[in-house]
Structure 1
Amino acid sequence: MKLKLDIDALNEDFFEDAFLLGIIVTAKSYRFCWQVNNVLGYNFRLNTDINIEIQKKGRRYFFPVYQHTESVTDINHYIYHNQYDGEYLLPEFKHMDFLWLVKGGVPPYNYAQQIIQSVKQINGVQLVAELTNEKIKTKGNLVF
Protein backbone atom coordinates (compact mmCIF):
# COMPACT_ATOMS: atom_id res chain seq x y z
CA MET A 1 0.00 0.00 0.00
CA LYS A 2 1.37 3.40 -1.03
CA LEU A 3 0.65 6.52 0.93
CA LYS A 4 0.64 9.79 -0.94
CA LEU A 5 1.20 13.12 0.76
CA ASP A 6 -1.36 15.69 -0.35
CA ILE A 7 0.80 18.80 -0.66
CA ASP A 8 -2.14 21.03 -1.61
CA ALA A 9 -4.05 20.02 1.53
CA LEU A 10 -0.92 20.56 3.62
CA ASN A 11 -0.49 24.07 2.19
CA GLU A 12 -4.17 24.90 2.76
CA ASP A 13 -3.94 23.77 6.40
CA PHE A 14 -0.81 25.88 6.93
CA PHE A 15 -2.50 29.02 5.57
CA GLU A 16 -5.97 28.39 7.06
CA ASP A 17 -5.54 30.86 9.92
CA ALA A 18 -2.98 33.15 8.32
CA PHE A 19 -2.48 36.25 6.23
CA LEU A 20 0.57 37.46 4.33
CA LEU A 21 1.97 40.93 3.76
CA GLY A 22 4.54 41.93 1.18
CA ILE A 23 6.99 44.72 2.06
CA ILE A 24 9.32 46.81 -0.08
CA VAL A 25 12.08 48.40 2.00
CA THR A 26 15.66 49.44 1.37
CA ALA A 27 17.08 47.85 4.57
CA LYS A 28 18.84 44.49 5.00
CA SER A 29 16.87 41.78 6.86
CA TYR A 30 18.62 42.14 10.24
CA ARG A 31 18.28 45.93 10.05
CA PHE A 32 14.61 45.80 9.04
CA CYS A 33 13.77 43.41 11.92
CA TRP A 34 15.72 45.64 14.31
CA GLN A 35 13.61 48.61 13.13
CA VAL A 36 10.37 46.61 13.53
CA ASN A 37 11.41 45.64 17.05
CA ASN A 38 12.47 49.14 18.11
CA VAL A 39 9.85 51.25 16.35
CA LEU A 40 6.83 48.94 16.72
CA GLY A 41 7.68 47.06 19.93
CA TYR A 42 7.96 43.53 18.51
CA ASN A 43 10.61 40.99 19.48
CA PHE A 44 11.59 39.35 16.18
CA ARG A 45 14.52 36.96 16.39
CA LEU A 46 16.22 34.86 13.73
CA ASN A 47 14.87 31.30 14.02
CA THR A 48 17.47 29.02 12.46
CA ASP A 49 15.25 25.98 13.08
CA ILE A 50 12.81 27.09 10.38
CA ASN A 51 15.07 28.62 7.72
CA ILE A 52 13.73 27.80 4.28
CA GLU A 53 16.01 25.95 1.84
CA ILE A 54 15.15 25.63 -1.84
CA GLN A 55 17.12 23.59 -4.35
CA LYS A 56 17.08 24.92 -7.91
CA LYS A 57 19.38 24.53 -10.88
CA GLY A 58 21.71 22.31 -8.87
CA ARG A 59 22.17 24.96 -6.18
CA ARG A 60 20.85 25.48 -2.67
CA TYR A 61 19.24 28.76 -1.63
CA PHE A 62 18.65 29.73 2.00
CA PHE A 63 15.98 32.15 3.14
CA PRO A 64 16.21 33.33 6.77
CA VAL A 65 13.03 33.46 8.86
CA TYR A 66 12.58 35.82 11.82
CA GLN A 67 9.91 34.94 14.38
CA HIS A 68 7.92 36.82 17.02
CA THR A 69 5.28 35.18 19.23
CA GLU A 70 2.69 37.28 21.00
CA SER A 71 2.67 36.37 24.68
CA VAL A 72 -1.05 36.95 25.29
CA THR A 73 -2.40 35.19 22.17
CA ASP A 74 -1.27 32.23 20.09
CA ILE A 75 -0.48 34.49 17.17
CA ASN A 76 2.94 34.00 15.56
CA HIS A 77 4.62 36.46 13.23
CA TYR A 78 7.23 35.40 10.68
CA ILE A 79 9.32 37.66 8.47
CA TYR A 80 10.91 35.94 5.48
CA HIS A 81 13.55 37.52 3.29
CA ASN A 82 12.18 37.04 -0.24
CA GLN A 83 15.50 37.06 -2.11
CA TYR A 84 18.72 35.09 -1.82
CA ASP A 85 21.55 35.20 -4.35
CA GLY A 86 19.29 36.00 -7.32
CA GLU A 87 16.50 33.54 -6.44
CA TYR A 88 13.15 34.37 -4.87
CA LEU A 89 11.13 32.57 -2.22
CA LEU A 90 7.95 33.74 -3.96
CA PRO A 91 8.97 34.41 -7.59
CA GLU A 92 5.54 35.86 -8.38
CA PHE A 93 6.38 38.70 -5.96
CA LYS A 94 9.97 39.49 -7.02
CA HIS A 95 9.44 43.15 -6.25
CA MET A 96 8.77 42.40 -2.55
CA ASP A 97 11.83 42.41 -0.30
CA PHE A 98 10.16 40.80 2.71
CA LEU A 99 7.12 38.66 3.43
CA TRP A 100 5.39 39.01 6.81
CA LEU A 101 3.22 36.01 7.69
CA VAL A 102 0.80 36.24 10.63
CA LYS A 103 -0.52 32.87 11.73
CA GLY A 104 -2.45 31.23 14.54
CA GLY A 105 -5.01 32.25 17.10
CA VAL A 106 -7.80 34.62 16.20
CA PRO A 107 -6.36 37.99 15.25
CA PRO A 108 -8.35 41.05 16.26
CA TYR A 109 -10.61 42.69 13.71
CA ASN A 110 -8.71 44.67 11.07
CA TYR A 111 -5.37 43.30 12.36
CA ALA A 112 -3.70 43.22 8.92
CA GLN A 113 -4.55 46.88 8.35
CA GLN A 114 -3.16 47.80 11.77
CA ILE A 115 0.16 46.12 10.96
CA ILE A 116 0.26 47.71 7.49
CA GLN A 117 -0.24 51.20 8.95
CA SER A 118 2.42 50.58 11.63
CA VAL A 119 5.04 49.21 9.19
CA LYS A 120 4.55 52.23 6.91
CA GLN A 121 5.94 54.38 9.75
CA ILE A 122 9.34 52.67 9.53
CA ASN A 123 12.01 54.68 7.77
CA GLY A 124 12.82 53.31 4.31
CA VAL A 125 9.56 51.36 3.85
CA GLN A 126 8.21 52.10 0.38
CA LEU A 127 5.22 49.75 0.25
CA VAL A 128 3.25 47.34 2.45
CA ALA A 129 0.44 45.31 0.88
CA GLU A 130 -1.65 42.31 1.81
CA LEU A 131 -1.04 39.37 -0.54
CA THR A 132 -4.18 37.31 -1.03
CA ASN A 133 -4.02 33.51 -1.17
CA GLU A 134 -5.32 33.47 -4.75
CA LYS A 135 -2.30 35.46 -5.94
CA ILE A 136 0.28 33.24 -4.21
CA LYS A 137 1.28 30.51 -6.67
CA THR A 138 4.24 29.07 -4.75
CA LYS A 139 2.85 29.25 -1.21
CA GLY A 140 4.42 25.85 -0.45
CA ASN A 141 7.78 27.64 -0.32
CA LEU A 142 6.66 29.38 2.88
CA VAL A 143 5.67 26.18 4.71
CA PHE A 144 8.17 25.01 7.33
Structure 2
Amino acid sequence: MSLKKLQLEVEEDLAFLLFGLVSGHKASKLVFFLNFVPPFNFERVPDLKLPDFNPKSETSFSKFAFQDEENHLDFYLLANKEFGLTLVSELKQFDFLLIVRGGLEFFDANSFARDCMKLQGVQLIAPIENDKIKSKISWII
Protein backbone atom coordinates (compact mmCIF):
# COMPACT_ATOMS: atom_id res chain seq x y z
CA MET A 1 0.00 0.00 0.00
CA SER A 2 1.54 3.29 -1.06
CA LEU A 3 1.19 6.46 0.90
CA LYS A 4 -0.06 9.51 -0.86
CA LYS A 5 1.78 12.76 -0.22
CA LEU A 6 -0.32 15.83 0.27
CA GLN A 7 1.08 19.26 -0.39
CA LEU A 8 -0.13 22.08 1.83
CA GLU A 9 -0.27 25.36 -0.01
CA VAL A 10 -0.24 28.43 2.17
CA GLU A 11 -1.13 31.75 0.61
CA GLU A 12 0.06 35.00 2.08
CA ASP A 13 -2.73 36.96 3.69
CA LEU A 14 -2.55 40.13 1.65
CA ALA A 15 -6.21 41.03 1.99
CA PHE A 16 -6.50 44.36 3.71
CA LEU A 17 -8.36 47.63 3.55
CA LEU A 18 -6.47 50.88 3.28
CA PHE A 19 -7.64 54.35 4.23
CA GLY A 20 -5.90 57.66 3.83
CA LEU A 21 -6.41 60.32 6.50
CA VAL A 22 -5.75 64.03 6.33
CA SER A 23 -5.28 65.67 9.70
CA GLY A 24 -3.45 68.66 11.08
CA HIS A 25 -2.74 66.73 14.29
CA LYS A 26 0.44 64.92 15.15
CA ALA A 27 0.15 61.14 15.33
CA SER A 28 -0.25 60.88 19.10
CA LYS A 29 -3.04 63.47 19.20
CA LEU A 30 -4.86 61.83 16.29
CA VAL A 31 -4.69 58.49 18.12
CA PHE A 32 -6.09 60.18 21.24
CA PHE A 33 -9.18 61.19 19.25
CA LEU A 34 -9.41 57.88 17.34
CA ASN A 35 -9.57 56.02 20.64
CA PHE A 36 -12.96 57.67 21.26
CA VAL A 37 -14.36 55.61 18.35
CA PRO A 38 -15.47 52.21 19.70
CA PRO A 39 -13.84 49.69 19.88
CA PHE A 40 -10.48 51.38 19.29
CA ASN A 41 -7.69 51.42 21.81
CA PHE A 42 -4.63 52.17 19.67
CA GLU A 43 -1.26 51.84 21.33
CA ARG A 44 2.10 52.98 20.11
CA VAL A 45 4.29 50.19 18.77
CA PRO A 46 7.87 50.44 17.54
CA ASP A 47 8.18 52.88 14.66
CA LEU A 48 8.48 51.63 11.12
CA LYS A 49 12.18 52.10 10.39
CA LEU A 50 13.55 52.32 6.91
CA PRO A 51 17.24 52.27 6.11
CA ASP A 52 18.29 55.52 4.57
CA PHE A 53 20.84 55.99 1.85
CA ASN A 54 23.23 56.78 4.67
CA PRO A 55 23.85 53.47 6.49
CA LYS A 56 24.47 55.33 9.78
CA SER A 57 20.96 56.77 9.94
CA GLU A 58 17.42 55.48 9.63
CA THR A 59 14.16 57.12 8.73
CA SER A 60 11.30 56.21 11.02
CA PHE A 61 7.55 56.67 10.74
CA SER A 62 5.20 56.60 13.75
CA LYS A 63 3.15 53.43 14.04
CA PHE A 64 0.18 52.54 16.23
CA ALA A 65 -1.71 49.25 16.44
CA PHE A 66 -4.96 47.88 17.80
CA GLN A 67 -6.27 44.30 17.78
CA ASP A 68 -10.02 43.78 17.86
CA GLU A 69 -10.03 40.20 19.09
CA GLU A 70 -13.81 39.94 19.09
CA ASN A 71 -14.04 40.64 15.34
CA HIS A 72 -10.62 39.22 14.42
CA LEU A 73 -9.39 42.54 13.03
CA ASP A 74 -5.98 44.21 13.21
CA PHE A 75 -5.67 47.96 12.73
CA TYR A 76 -2.45 49.82 12.00
CA LEU A 77 -2.09 53.58 11.84
CA LEU A 78 1.06 54.82 10.15
CA ALA A 79 2.29 58.33 9.73
CA ASN A 80 2.74 58.83 6.00
CA LYS A 81 4.77 62.00 6.55
CA GLU A 82 7.63 62.44 9.00
CA PHE A 83 10.44 64.98 9.00
CA GLY A 84 9.56 66.19 5.51
CA LEU A 85 9.67 62.66 4.05
CA THR A 86 6.77 60.63 2.66
CA LEU A 87 6.41 56.89 3.30
CA VAL A 88 4.25 56.12 0.23
CA SER A 89 4.98 58.85 -2.29
CA GLU A 90 1.99 58.12 -4.50
CA LEU A 91 -0.24 58.82 -1.49
CA LYS A 92 1.51 62.04 -0.50
CA GLN A 93 -1.81 63.87 -0.14
CA PHE A 94 -2.52 61.83 3.03
CA ASP A 95 -0.89 62.49 6.38
CA PHE A 96 -1.70 59.04 7.76
CA LEU A 97 -2.48 55.57 6.44
CA LEU A 98 -4.87 53.25 8.26
CA ILE A 99 -4.58 49.57 7.41
CA VAL A 100 -7.28 47.05 8.40
CA ARG A 101 -6.51 43.32 8.20
CA GLY A 102 -8.19 40.14 9.31
CA GLY A 103 -11.90 39.32 9.38
CA LEU A 104 -12.91 42.04 6.94
CA GLU A 105 -16.42 40.62 6.73
CA PHE A 106 -16.95 42.00 10.27
CA PHE A 107 -15.82 45.52 9.37
CA ASP A 108 -18.22 48.21 8.16
CA ALA A 109 -15.98 50.61 6.26
CA ASN A 110 -18.73 53.16 5.61
CA SER A 111 -19.75 53.60 9.24
CA PHE A 112 -16.08 53.67 10.24
CA ALA A 113 -15.41 56.52 7.79
CA ARG A 114 -18.50 58.41 9.01
CA ASP A 115 -17.40 58.06 12.65
CA CYS A 116 -13.88 59.24 11.85
CA MET A 117 -15.11 62.30 9.97
CA LYS A 118 -16.84 63.44 13.18
CA LEU A 119 -13.54 63.49 15.05
CA GLN A 120 -11.80 66.73 15.84
CA GLY A 121 -8.90 67.33 13.49
CA VAL A 122 -9.84 64.75 10.84
CA GLN A 123 -10.36 66.72 7.66
CA LEU A 124 -10.69 63.77 5.30
CA ILE A 125 -10.74 59.99 5.36
CA ALA A 126 -10.83 58.15 2.06
CA PRO A 127 -10.70 54.47 1.13
CA ILE A 128 -7.83 53.60 -1.17
CA GLU A 129 -8.01 50.72 -3.62
CA ASN A 130 -4.86 48.79 -2.78
CA ASP A 131 -4.71 47.04 -6.16
CA LYS A 132 -4.27 50.44 -7.84
CA ILE A 133 -1.18 51.30 -5.81
CA LYS A 134 1.99 50.66 -7.75
CA SER A 135 4.26 50.38 -4.73
CA LYS A 136 3.84 47.31 -2.58
CA ILE A 137 2.28 48.62 0.62
CA SER A 138 1.79 45.16 2.14
CA TRP A 139 5.43 45.07 3.27
CA ILE A 140 4.70 47.94 5.63
CA ILE A 141 2.62 45.82 7.95
The TM-score bracket by the shorter chain reads 0.7 to 0.9
RMSD of aligned alpha carbons: 1.9
Higher strand share: 2
Question: Which residue, out of 89, 94, 104, partners 2:102?
Answer: 104
Q: Which residue of 2 aligns with 1:137?
A: 134
1:66-105 equivalence runs, <5 A: 66-105=64-103
> TM-score under structure 2 normalisation?
0.81
| Structure 2 residue 21 is the aligned partner of structure 1 residue 23 | yes
Gaps of 5+ in 2: 1-10
Count of aligned pairs between the two proteins: 128
Query: How has the CA–CA distance of structure 1 residues 131 and 106 changed in structure 2, closer, same or farther, with 3 Å as cutoff?
Result: closer
Gaps of 5+ in 1: 1-11
Query: How has the CA–CA distance of structure 1 residues 106 and 127 changed in structure 2, closer, same or farther, with 3 Å as cutoff?
Result: closer
Question: Which residue, out of 70, 93, 117, partners 2:114?
Answer: 117
CA distance in 1, matches of 2:22, 2:70: 29
Higher helix share: 1
Identical residues among aligned pairs (%) = 24
> TM-score under structure 1 normalisation?
0.79
The AA in structure 1 aligned to 2:51 is Q
Q: Secondary structure at the match of 2:72?
A: coil
